Structure 1
Amino acid sequence: MAGIDAITSEILQDAEKSAQELLAQARADAESSKASARASAEKTKAKTTKRLEVEQAQYEKRVESRKTMIEGQQRLAYRQHLIETVLRQAQKELHDLPAGEYFAMVCKLVSEHAEPGEGTIMFSAADLKRLPAGFAAKLNEAAKKAGGSLKVSKEAADISDGFVLRYGGIDENCTLDALFSQMHDEMQDTVLKTLWQA
């Protein structure tokens, strides 16, 4: 029996040794796998961090660009608002001129817009009531420079200021609204230069 015990003991020792070797190999494999996983995770983390840094920089650049664009649009809108305010104020001041200055302006405008031939000039009801004495003669003098003549219509035009010139059924609108509208871009450029390049 002692031989069987010895054989059994030897088998058990061999099995124990084999188990220890297998366990050691499994531990070594597990450590290698952990190290490999750790290295892979670090590599992935580094790549992800780099990608996120690039995306963050691009995002910040887009935000800054958008902010700059919005600020530019706001500045432009503010400038446009100021220009339109100045133009409206200028038109209002011309509309509100005292009669003498207002009709002197009308006379100047007639000399610029009169055409050869006989024409009629039409005013608003308010302006018809306040026409200065002898103004029709001044209008004719201005019209003569263009080779024409003008008579003042007794019928009021449906306008608030300025006048309408009528030549043979064709009307030329010389109200302040029409004149400011025609010259809007030119006046806008003048106001822009005056306000921001002075």
Structure 2
Amino acid sequence: MTGLDKILKAIEAEAEAKADKVISEANKEAEEILSAAKAEAEKRCKEIAEKSEADKKAILSRAESAAALQEKKILLDVKQQIISNIIDNARMSLANLPDSELIEIVLQMVKRYAHNKEGQIVFSASDKNRIPKDFNNSLKAVLEDRPGAVLTVSDETASIDGGFLLVYGDVEENCSFDALFNAYKETLQDQVNALLFD
């Protein structure tokens, strides 16, 4: 082997060694990059899975809250309907009372709502026919402890469902059952609610 061949062989051997080293380092670097990429991918997958789980829990929580709210709303609507029905039935039952019970209620209302001056009491046409002949005497008796309070039954009738109107000249006080139930609607609802649901 000549000197030139030896030099070429040495250069070739050195080049192969360098190439092997470069390839080895490239492979090592590629493995490190691959390993890092795999670790990053696993980390991102874990983060995405955790976020998905958190999102799922948040969506379920919101859905449960919305369902609970809807349930409360439905229950409240049902309670309100029950309360309204009871109050409406109570109002209708007043119109169907026997005459003696109706007169007793009317006299209690007169005692409560009458003014201390002269006036007239006006009934609906149907209730006026239920008033006994001596009703003016009953009015006097109920108002005897109210100075100046004098009521007489009017010949006129009113378009009301039951109860009466108190008329003092130009001033009229509506004591119809509808007006009283409407005036005390919230109080009645609270009382019925307390009786049924508390």
Band of TM-score, shorter chain: 0.7 to 0.9
Deviates more, 1:93-102 or 1:6-15: 6-15
Amino acid in structure 2 at the alignment position of 1:160: D
* Cα deviation code 1:18-70 (max 9, x no counterpart): 32222222111110000111112222223333333333333333332332222
1:119 partnered with 2:115: no
| Unaligned segments of structure 2, at least 5 residues | none
Residues 32-181 of structure 1: pairs in structure 2 closer than 5 A: 32-147=32-147, 148-181=149-182
The CA RMSD over aligned residues, in Å, is 2.2
* Cα deviation code 1:63-86 (max 9, x no counterpart): 323322222222222212111111
Secondary structure at the residue paired with 2:156?
A: coil
Deviation at 1:9, TM superposition (A): 4.1
Amino acid in structure 1 at the alignment position of 2:183: Q
Percent identity (aligned): 33
Matched residue pairs, number?
197
Q: Hey, what's the Cα distance between the residues in 1 that align with 2:160 and 2:193?
A: 29
Q: Hey, what's the Cα distance between the residues in 2 that align with 1:4 and 1:132?
A: 149
Q: Hey, what's the Cα distance between the residues in 2 that align with 1:29 and 1:117?
A: 110
TM-score, length of structure 1 as denominator length: 0.87
State whether residues 115 and 143 of structure 1, in contact with CA within 8 Å, keep that contact through their aligned partners in structure 2.
no
Q: Hey, what's the Cα distance between the residues in 2 that align with 1:54 and 1:173?
A: 62
TM-score, length of structure 2 as denominator length: 0.87
Deviation at 1:3, TM superposition (A): 4.8
| Unaligned segments of structure 1, at least 5 residues | none
Amino acid in structure 1 at the alignment position of 2:83: I
Residues 174-189 of structure 1: pairs in structure 2 closer than 5 A: 174-189=175-190
Q: In the alignment, what sits opposite 1:17?
A: 17
Deviates more, 1:147-156 or 1:137-146: 137-146
Secondary structure at the residue paired with 2:161?
A: coil
Deviates more, 1:122-131 or 1:35-44: 122-131
Deviation at 1:104, TM superposition (A): 2.2
Amino acid in structure 2 at the alignment position of 1:29: E
* Cα deviation code 1:136-184 (max 9, x no counterpart): 2212322333231111111111212110001232111101111112222
Q: Hey, what's the Cα distance between the residues in 2 that align with 1:72 and 1:111?
A: 43
Deviation at 1:122, TM superposition (A): 0.8
Q: Hey, what's the Cα distance between the residues in 1 that align with 2:27 and 2:118?
A: 116
Amino acid in structure 1 at the alignment position of 2:169: G
Q: Hey, what's the Cα distance between the residues in 1 that align with 2:124 and 2:87?
A: 22
Structure 1 ranges of 4+ moved more than 6 A: none
